[in-house]
Amino acid sequence: MNSTGQPSAIQQAFSKLNGTLKTVFKKKNYRGESANSSAAATPTPTPAKQTPLPPIPVNANAQAEQQTQQTEQQQQQQIFSSPSAALAAESELAAAASGDYILYSRGYCPFTEQVRIAFAFKNRDLRFIKWAPNDTPPEWFATASPDKSVPVLQFPNGSFTNSSAEMITHLESMFPTPSLVPTVADGSLKDECTEWAKFIRTEFIPAFNKVLMGTNPAIQQEFRPKLKAAVAKISEKLVESSSSGPFLLGDAYMLPDLLLSPFLRRLEVIKYFRGVDFFAATNSEKIKEYVNVLGAQDWVQSVVAPIDEMKKFFVKTIPKMKPMSIGRLQHIAINAQYAKCVSLAESIQKEIDENKTVDVAAAESLRTKYSLIANLIEAHSWFEENLIYPIFEELKPGSSTRAHGEHEHEVPETNEFLQQLSSAVEKIGGDGESGFEGLVLKLKALAQSMKEHMDGEESELFPLTANLGEKEAPLFTKIYFHLSKSNESLLPFVLEPLSQQERMQYLYNIDQVIRGVDMEEWKRCQTIVKGMLSPADWEDLVFRLPSLEG
């Protein structure tokens, strides 16, 4: 307050800007990496005893699926929580204009990059301290960031905030030139800037975080469409603004551009780990062009980390599914191999219809592929009936009744079709008599029936795996050794249609459980996988799962 009892100019300016930019958004914490810098290298404001943070999670698959879901819910709540550390008071803000700001962080946190980009854009000094994974933050960190999230900004007077939105708001208030929220006479540009900042913080970024870090398939199913829609909306705005300039709202770099600068380039990281190319949305070339424009700005170049470095970081820290995810991965493989068989059968039938001839090699290939499907389904059904369903019945009596009934007819039907297919292949002759009539429709029906069966298991039974606890590793061990008898043929057949990240997860499950039980079996598994992959695919798989060469 000034001597008249009215708010001072600083208070008025800050209050007005805070109302414009402040949002309930709060960043998600990305923690941990191998960094060279340490908190010990820079004097801390409080010479107190240090209290360790919880260890950086490397193998998150050890957590139960239920715990994973709870963690994701907590992270979502953090996004919309209020700042847990207040900004400095007016006199402290005035002091900040001539003092040092110190930003503390760890890992490759995009919210930290947002703040650093803001300081660089404003051409203001910022001391940046990046803790390594095993560094112990000083005692004051628990007060500055009760939820242990980063970044944390220390003001020159020693006060803190752990809200990146508050940091950027404060910086714009104290140093309005160059502005991140330019104004025009009617205020329309300011309003548009604010609306886009809100959209990015409350819709784009939460969806982005869920897709990158969520292991639960239900999370992926919910948030991938949301992220795709958000990327498409940004792309459409870029097209609309392209006549005015290269940035989101025209010819000037503004707050929405700053917020997007660390995240849009990380879509490459999502593509690598999740196998989804969000650049393939509408006007993807415009998005790629925009990412390049953002990356070319000096204040962005001086801050952001190379994509390859981030990939190495996320190889260690991105959450992984539990061992029993093997069931879902085999479902993916079965559906994919069924689709390949249907496509091959349709091409054979088309050749018969058009040319009255049969591609003998294609027919033999179809029989070989389907025989592997039949073997995989039989093995898969056996371990479900004899190993998994009994445990599910203990957890929830009657839960496996429907799936058990479907197994009773699906396995015989699969084997019966294999016999019919083999008979048709053997009848192939130069006269065009093939015996393929009706087989394509029957194959499609079997594929659809199997998909519906597996979808039912995933919705009704798979959630029960969250309650397996200590039973999970021994159960997986039994499943693996039942399958290992056919590993030479079935393991490549399962892995072949999976994405590289899904292959990594499948082998990660084996590594985590079997390595400690039977090292020779683990080495045999490695040999089989290496033999089926190209050198480039093997190298990439080893990058994702370094223990493959260990």
pLDDT digits (tens, 9 = 90+) for 481-491: 999 999 999 99
Max distance between CA atoms of the chain, in angstroms, equals 106
d(CA 353, CA 359): 12
pLDDT digits (tens, 9 = 90+) for 89-143: 333 333 344 468 999 999 899 999 999 999 999 999 999 999 987 788 888 888 8
Higher pLDDT, 120 or 280: 120
Local structure of 499: helix, strand or coil: coil
List the strands of the sheet with 127-131, edge to edge.
Answer: 127-131, 102-106, 152-154, 160-161
pLDDT digits (tens, 9 = 90+) for 309-341: 999 999 998 999 999 999 999 999 999 999 999
Out of 128-137, 337-346, 515-524, pick the least confident. Answer: 128-137
Cβ-count burial of 523 within 10 angstroms (0-12 exposed, 13-18 middle, 19+ buried)?
A: exposed
**Mean pLDDT comparison of 1-5, 63-67, 319-323, 428-432, highest-scoring range:** 319-323
From residue 102, alpha-carbon distances to 82, 96, 119, 303 in Å are 22, 11, 11, 15
Mean pLDDT value across residues 216-220: 88
Higher pLDDT, 170 or 73: 170
- The first and second tokens of residue 231, run together, are 């990327």
Count of all residues that appear for the chain in the document: 550
Higher pLDDT, 241 or 22: 241
Contact by Cβ (8 Å): 200, 294 = no
Q: What is the pLDDT of residue 15?
A: 46
Amino acid identity, position 350: K
Mean pLDDT for the chain overall = 82
Higher pLDDT, 283 or 336: 336
Closest by CA position to 434, among listed 338, 337, 369, 355 = 355
Closest by CA position to 128, among listed 111, 151, 156 = 151
- The first and second tokens of residue 404, run together, are 């058990």
Contact by Cβ (8 Å): 52, 199 = no
User: What's the pTM?
Assistant: 0.77
Q: What is the pLDDT of residue 282?
A: 63
- The first and second tokens of residue 138, run together, are 């000083």
Dihedral (C-alpha) 103, 109, 113, 114: value to the nearest 10 degrees? -100
Q: Running DSSP on this structure, what letter comes out for residue 102?
A: E
Higher pLDDT, 59 or 416: 416
Give the rounded distance of the alpha carbon of 439 from its chain centre: 40
Mean pLDDT value across residues 422-427: 86
Q: What is the pLDDT of residue 187?
A: 66
pLDDT surpasses 70 at 470: yes
- The first and second tokens of residue 270, run together, are 């999502």
Give the rounded distance of the alpha carbon of 333 from its chain centre: 20
- The first and second tokens of residue 64, run together, are 């139960």
pLDDT surpasses 70 at 280: yes
Torsions phi, psi for 277 (to 5 deg): -95, 95
Q: What is the pLDDT of residue 49?
A: 29
Mean pLDDT value across residues 362-372: 95
d(CA 94, CA 99): 9
What is the percentage of the chain residues whose pLDDT exceeds 90? 66
d(CA 162, CA 146): 9
From residue 398, alpha-carbon distances to 387, 460, 463, 543 in Å are 16, 11, 15, 43
d(CA 402, CA 458): 13
Higher pLDDT, 276 or 12: 276
Grade residue 472 by pLDDT with cuts at 50, 70 and 90: very high
Provide the terminal-to-terminal Cα distance of the chain, rounded to the nearest Å: 66
Q: What is the pLDDT of residue 429?
A: 57
Give the rounded distance of the alpha carbon of 314 from its chain centre: 10
Bridge pairing between strands 152-154 and 127-131? unpaired
d(CA 231, CA 531): 39
d(CA 320, CA 430): 53
